[in-house]
Amino acid sequence: MKRLLLAVTALAILAACSSTPTMEQDGAAVEDRSGTAAAQAPAVTAPVTKGPTTTPLAPTGVSGNPLKDPSNILSKRSVFFELDSNVVKDEFKPLVSAHARYLQQNRNMKMTLQGNADERGSREYNLALGQRRADAVKQVMLLLGAQIDQIETVSFGEEKPRATGHDEASLAENRRADIVYPND
């Protein structure tokens, strides 16, 4: 059964690759004008067409992946929460909506939202609190146009703290949901 599933998945991936050569498969965005796309272009035996021809812009020198571009809001990946809260604060709305828009514009793109909690209290309950935070970010993204099958929400609870201190600043750093893309 598992083998069959693998085979089906592999077929699906192959199908996706062959049928949609212009779609981004690997985290590159529609704005991508990098050399990679241009370099691949000659390999495609395009049917002879009449009418206007298109020419890609020359590479700008900037890495084409907006997810990795430090000047792009999409490179920001963490949403922080108050104690015992799963409310997405206003200061994180631009970040969340930028990622929601990105998913909307890249329907094949998947995302994992990883919820986290501070270390106080039950590990399993904290796992559920982290899940609730990831789910809260997902809800906002769905409202802004992301599709439900694009986002998986999981939780690390208190198990993978980014800050290992026990002071309030460290605890706050760990009350967090992280946005993770497949190629991160």
Partner 1 sequence: MQSRNIKIFDFGRPLLRMFALWLLLSAGSAVASLTIEIVGAGANQIPVAIVPFRAEAGLAQRITPVVAADLARSGLFKTVDPGGMNPVPHEPEQLNYAQLRARGADAVVIGSVTKAPDGRYDIRFRVMDAVKQTQIAGFVYFATEGQLRLTAHKIADVIYEKLTGDTGVFATRIAYVVKRGPRYELHVADADGYGAQSVLGSNEPIISPSWSPDGSRLAYVSFEQKKPIVYVQSLTTGGRLAVAAFRGSNSAPAWSPDGRRLAVTLTRDGGSQLFMINADGSGAPVRLTQSAGIDTEANFAPDGQSILFTSDRGGGPQIYRIAASGGTAQRVTFEGSYNVSPRHSPDGKSFTFIQRNNGRFNVAVQDFATRQVQVLTDGGIDESPSFAPNSKVILYATEVGGRGILAAVSSDGRIKQRFTADVGDAREPAWSPVVNK
The site for partner 1 (CB under 8 A) is made up of: 112, 114, 120-125, 127-129, 131-132, 135, 152-157, 159-160
Question: Judged by CB, which is closer to partner 1: 26, or 84?
Answer: 84
Question: Judged by CB, which is closer to partner 1: 99, or 138?
Answer: 138
Question: Judged by CB, which is closer to partner 1: 3, or 50?
Answer: 3
β-pair partners for 145: none
On the CB side of 147, CA atoms within 13 Å amount to 10
Q: How far is the CB of 151 from partner 1 (least distance, A)?
A: 10
Strand order in the sheet with 151-157: 78-80, 176-180, 111-116, 151-157
Question: Judged by CB, which is closer to partner 1: 89, or 123?
Answer: 123
Q: How far is the CB of 44 from partner 1 (least distance, A)?
A: 35
Q: How far is the CB of 4 from partner 1 (least distance, A)?
A: 17
- Terminus-to-terminus CA distance in the chain, angstroms? 29
Question: Judged by CB, which is closer to partner 1: 36, or 139?
Answer: 139
Q: How far is the CB of 122 from partner 1 (least distance, A)?
A: 4
d(CA 132, CA 135): 5
CB 20 within 8 A of CB 56: no
Phi, psi (degrees; rounded to nearest 5) at 32? -60, 115
Q: How far is the CB of 130 from partner 1 (least distance, A)?
A: 8
